[in-house]
Every structure is written in C-alpha cells, then in structure tokens.
C-alpha cells in the first residue's frame, strides 16, 4: 500500500511511518519544513516539504497520485499559553480548512481512503460516570476541540461529495518514546523520587500508547468495516494518576511516596494558582470506550500498559533521564 502521512516528523508521525514501513507499506512523509525530513528519513520512501496547511494549501500533483491512502496527523495542536487574538480562527485555518483542502486534493488524485486523527476532546473534557464513544453527541470545550469537530464534519462532506473513504479516530492522551507535554512532566516527577501529593488522585483516565495507535491506524487503512466510522480508542486499561505514577516510579527504579492529600484540597490549590485545567487532568476522570473498534475491526491493542510504560521509561532513562540525573 502507498500511504501519504502528514505531520510525519511529529511524535505520532515518526512511530507511524516506521510501523507502516515495517508492515510493507511505501510511505511518503509530508513535513512542514526541510529540517523535519531528517527525522523520518529511515522510515519513508520519500519526504515532501509542504509548508503550512491552510485554506490555500496545495501539493504538486505527483505527490498524491498513486497514493492509496492519506493519514492526516498534521494539525495546530492544543496550546497551553495561547498568543493568538482569535484562537478559533487560528485553529480553523489549519485544522478545518487545511483538512478540507487536503481531502479534496486527495479525492481529485484518486486516493481511496483518508484517515483523520482527531481527539477525544471532541467528546468533552471527561466525566466520572460516562465512557466516551464515537457516536456520542459532541461537546468540545475549547478552540482546539471545536476545530477538530469541524474538521471531522468537513471530511464527511468531502466524502459524501466525492466517494472518498473517510475514517476518524479520536484518541486520548498518547504516550511512548519521544513523548512530550504533560506525560513527560509526570516522567520527570517520578524520576525525582520526591514525595508527591497524588495519593488521593482516584479519577480514572484512558491513555493510548503510540504503538497501539500506530497499529490501529494500520488496521483502519485496510479493513473495509472502518469506512465511514468514527472510532474512540485506548489501551483498554484505565489508570488513575496515582496508579500511573506508581507504575512509572517502579519502572524507573524510584520509590517516592504518594501523599494522601485530599483531591478537593489539591484542586482548590491548583485552581487558585491558575492551574485548574491541570487539576482536572490530574484528579478528574476521562474514560474512553474502545469496544466498537475492537469488535468491528477485530482489533486488540498489541501492547499492554505495562509493556508500553516499560518502553517509554527505557527511552527516558537513555536520553531525557540521563540529562535530568546530571542536572
């Protein structure tokens, strides 16, 4: 199979390109600028510099011709410290208009299938009682999530008008070797071995290892039952922050105690510091129901949570962790 992967040099893109190539696919990696090409040089048959996605995005015709599938990973992602005057417009330009433009170009070039990586944030920010499904009413709460929801709708419009086979995946937090963001912050905390105030962090959250995500994407590109579907997916093993930190600490050979400070107190403290969203992620629940992709595509996550965490902490020890210990 010939596959074009946008955002090929990103965290997910690097793992996906390698996985697809190992499965026998011929991968073309689309990157925003020339330096990104080096990151996927060993996994992609070729790399193409495409610049920024947006309303006027275009590609040389030969890039898409002959491709059987497009995996669209590139996006303007969630921004912790937003600097745009109009965040909705900034997200829309890249995530909505860019997705629609790419999907139309793909359809015109004869591409068969188009997979959009969306986000579970389209469903909402979490619930103590509900595990999110792909057919739930959308409830996006911020500009990023709203743009992803609209991108999904634009893709389905293109599919109806052209016959392009669309697939949408909504993952929760993705982790693995090379991860950044909040998961990397937890790794750094666990590596310190300090006492941490998360002994009462009991809200269950779904996570997804990048290896499991890459495998699910590969299945969606080839399985006929994936067409026209929106799937939520996870490792199918939910963890509280307390349990996650315990696993990370053990894998890193650390034993910092988790102090039983009441979750309500920690939420109030973090909220007073302007970190209410961080408090929600540490103490709140966000569970994902992945039964549909398992049943419809006969997909099972190939990596257990324990295996995925071992792989992630091994990467951390070998690179990020070494610099941390020397500091």
Could you tell me the CA-to-CA distances from 60 to 17, 106, 163, 165 in Å, in that order?
A: 21, 11, 22, 22
Q: Which two tokens stand for residue 62?
A: 């030969």
Q: Are 276 and 214 contacting, i.e. CB atoms less than 8 angstroms apart?
A: no
132 is catalytic: no
Residue from 86, 121, 170 nearest 280 by CA: 121
Q: Which two tokens stand for residue 209?
A: 């290892």
325 CB burial (10 A radius; 0-12, 13-18, 19+): exposed
| Catalytic position from the list 91, 114, 144, 198 | 144
The number of residues in the chain equals 327
Residues annotated as catalytic (active site), given as ranges? 144
């Amino acid at each position: 199979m010939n596959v074009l992967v946008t955002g090929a040099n990103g965290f997910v893109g690097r793992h996906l390109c390698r996985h697809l190539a190992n499965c026998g696919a011929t991968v073309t990696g689309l990157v925003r600028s020339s330096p990104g090409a080096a990151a996927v040089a060993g996994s992609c048959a070729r790399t193409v510099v495409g610049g920024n996605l947006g309303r006027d995005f275009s590609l040389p015709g030969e890039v898409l011709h002959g491709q059987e599938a497009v995996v669209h990973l590139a996006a303007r992602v969630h921004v912790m410290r937003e600097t745009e005057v109009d965040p909705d417009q900034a997200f829309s330009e890249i995530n909505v208009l860019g997705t629609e433009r790419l999907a139309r170009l793909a359809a015109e070039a004869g591409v068969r299938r188009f997979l959009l990586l969306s986000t579970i944030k389209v469903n909402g920010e979490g619930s103590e009682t509900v595990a999110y499904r792909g057919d739930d009413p959308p409830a996006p709460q911020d500009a990023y999530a709203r743009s992803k929801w609209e991108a999904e709708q634009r893709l389905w419009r293109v599919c109806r008008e052209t016959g392009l086979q669309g697939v949408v995946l909504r993952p929760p937090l993705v982790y693995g070797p090379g991860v950044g963001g909040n998961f990397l912050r937890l790794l750094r905390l666990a590596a310190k071995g300090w006492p941490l105030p998360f002994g009462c962090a009991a809200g269950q959250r779904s996570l997804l290892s990048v290896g499991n995500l890459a495998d699910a994407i590969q299945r969606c590109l080839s399985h006929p039952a994936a067409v026209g579907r929106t799937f939520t997916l996870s490792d199918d093993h939910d963890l509280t922050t307390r349990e996650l930190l315990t696993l990370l600490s053990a894998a890193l050979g650390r034993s910092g105690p988790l102090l039983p400070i009441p979750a309500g107190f920690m939420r109030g403290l973090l909220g007073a510091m302007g970190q209410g969203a961080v408090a929600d992620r540490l103490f709140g629940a966000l569970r994902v129901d992945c039964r549909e992709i398992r049943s419809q595509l006969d997909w099972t996550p190939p990596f257990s949570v324990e295996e995925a965490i071992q792989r992630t902490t091994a990467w951390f020890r070998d690179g990020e962790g070494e610099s941390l210990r020397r500091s």
